[in-house]
Amino acid sequence: MTVMKKSSFVVTAAALMTLLLACSSESDPGEACDRPGGTKDVCVSGTVCGKPSDKATQPVCIAICSQDSDCPKDWDCKGVDGTSIKGCRSKN
């Protein structure tokens, strides 16, 4: 393999790996997600894809909780649509 072909192969392989990692990464808390109710392979551990408030239209990864004290001030531990999971959702 010539140096040019080897260089092209390495660049192509690196670009492909970057694309695969970007497509398979999980969203962090507060980041948009595309599968409401999803946890594994959708949001990072300890979070679920859900609406951050009753008024929100775009789901984001929110913290999973079991009671209001698990959430920040002005947030309640409420059910996430379509699941039996509860998440920290804004009171507003």
**pLDDT tens, position by position, 35-72:** 999 998 899 999 999 999 999 999 999 999 999 999 99
Give whole-number Cα distances, 78 to 3, 24, 28, 64, 68, in Å. Answer: 59, 28, 19, 9, 8
pTM (2 d.p.): 0.70
CB atoms within 10 A of CB 47: 24
Question: CA 83, 22, 46: angle at the middle one, nearest 5?
Answer: 35
Q: Read off the pLDDT band of 1 (50, 70, 90).
A: low
CB 63 within 8 A of CB 29: yes
CB neighbours (10 Å) of residue 70?
Answer: 14
